[in-house]
């Protein structure tokens, strides 16, 4: 692994023990907010090693999906960033959190319709994160996926896949440039 490059290996069941312990410590240190593990994304060699996870963040009645970065240096682990990827609300058209680590047939059918004609990545779907009600009873889903770009020499990436039965869009996670996840 090259310095600064993310090694993506999404796991919805577990994370390295040192990160699991740090995540528990982090959850206990934040008052008024609860966090639930969804998936481990991967690691990055930097000054020490960064690790990234996806979690559900619960603040009172609000539920969000966040990415949390941890840095490990000499067996010392600290949370260095928490960024919201998906925010929810109570208004028509807002996203609703719907976590499924075994993706339902309804969602897979929509994904299969939406990806027709889409090229650029081979997706390995890992978990449904959220849904949005659209007009005429249709829904948009946000799915966490490991995506293998169909370019020679390109590394796989962690991605949010936004899909309806008519189209599919992708937002790569853990990039060095800024990405506006909310407006995809």
| Same-domain check for residues 104 and 81 | no
pLDDT of 1:
57
Q: Please check whether residue 163 lies inside any domain of the structure.
A: yes
- For residues 81 and 99, state if they share a domain: no
Q: How many domains does the chain divide into?
A: 2
pLDDT given at position 117: 85
What is the pTM assigned to this prediction?
0.89
For residues 82 and 125, state if they share a domain: no
Is residue 1 assigned to a domain? no
Residue 32's CATH number? 3.10.450
Cα torsion angle, 52, 161, 36, 34, sign: positive
pLDDT at 184: 38
Indicate whether 179 belongs to any domain: no
Q: DSSP 3-state assignment of 150? A: coil
Residue 181 falls inside a structural domain:
no
Does 180 reside within a domain? no
Q: Assess whether 64 and 44 both reside in one domain.
A: yes
Looking at the structure, do residues 102 and 72 belong to the same domain, yes or no?
A: no
76 and 126 share a domain? no
Q: Are residues 58 and 106 in the same domain?
A: no
Residue 107: predicted pLDDT: 96
| 169 and 152 assigned to the same domain | yes
50: number of CA atoms within 13 Å, CB side? 20
| pLDDT in 10s for each residue of the chain, 184 residues | 577 889 999 999 999 999 999 999 999 999 899 999 999 999 999 989 999 999 999 998 889 999 999 999 998 999 999 999 999 877 777 899 999 999 999 999 999 999 988 888 999 999 999 999 888 888 999 999 999 988 888 889 999 999 998 899 999 998 744 444 444 3
Among the three residues 26, 60, 86, which one is the final residue of a domain in this structure?
A: 86
Q: What are phi and psi of 73, to 5 degrees?
A: -135, 120
Determine the structural domain holding residue 27 and report its residue range: 6-86
Alpha carbons 163 and 175: distance in angstroms, whole number: 21
Q: Where does a domain end: 86, 119, 138?
A: 86
Q: Which of 36, 58, 86 is the last residue of a domain?
A: 86
30 and 79 part of one domain? yes
Task: Report the 3 state secondary structure along 99-143.
Answer: EECCCCHHHHHHHHHHCCCCCCEEEEEEEEEEEEECHHHCEEEEE
């Amino acid at each position: 692994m090259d310095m600064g490059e993310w090694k993506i290996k999404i796991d919805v069941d577990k994370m390295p023990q040192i990160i699991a312990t740090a995540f528990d410590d982090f959850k206990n240190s934040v008052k008024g907010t609860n966090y639930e593990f969804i998936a481990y994304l991967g690691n990055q060699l930097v000054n020490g090693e960064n690790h990234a996870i996806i979690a559900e963040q619960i603040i009172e009645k609000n539920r969000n999906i966040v990415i949390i970065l941890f840095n490990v240096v000499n067996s010392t682990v600290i949370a260095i960033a928490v960024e919201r990827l998906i925010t929810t609300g109570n208004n028509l058209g807002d996203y609703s959190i719907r976590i499924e680590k075994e993706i339902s047939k309804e969602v897979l059918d929509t994904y299969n319709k939406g990806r027709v004609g889409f090229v650029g990545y081979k997706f390995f779907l890992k978990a449904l994160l959220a849904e949005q009600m659209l007009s005429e009873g249709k829904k948009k889903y946000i799915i966490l996926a490991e995506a293998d770009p169909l370019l020679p020499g390109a590394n796989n990436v962690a991605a949010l896949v936004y899909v309806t039965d008519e189209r599919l869009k992708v937002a790569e996670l853990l990039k060095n440039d800024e990405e506006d996840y909310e407006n995809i």
